[in-house]
Amino acid sequence: MLLSPMANQMNHFFSALADPTRRAVIERLVTGPAPVSELHAPHDIALPTFLKHLKVLEASGLVRSEKKGRVRIVHIEAAPLAEAEGWLQKQRRIWEGRLDRLEALAEHLERKSNGDLT
Q: Under the rule (CB under 8 A), what is the footprint of its own copies?
A: 1, 3, 7, 10-15, 17-21, 23, 26-27, 30-32, 43-45, 76, 78, 81-82, 84-85, 87-89, 91-92, 94-95, 98
Collapse the DSSP code of 97 into the 3-class scheme (helix H, G, I; strand E, B; otherwise coil) and give the result: helix
* Smallest gap from residue 72 Cβ to its own copies (A): 21
* Smallest gap from residue 24 Cβ to its own copies (A): 9
The dihedral built from the CA positions of residue 89, 92, 94 and 100, taken in this order, carries a sign that is negative
The dihedral built from the CA positions of residue 105, 107, 113 and 115, taken in this order, carries a sign that is negative
- 37 or 89: whose CB is closer to its own copies? 89
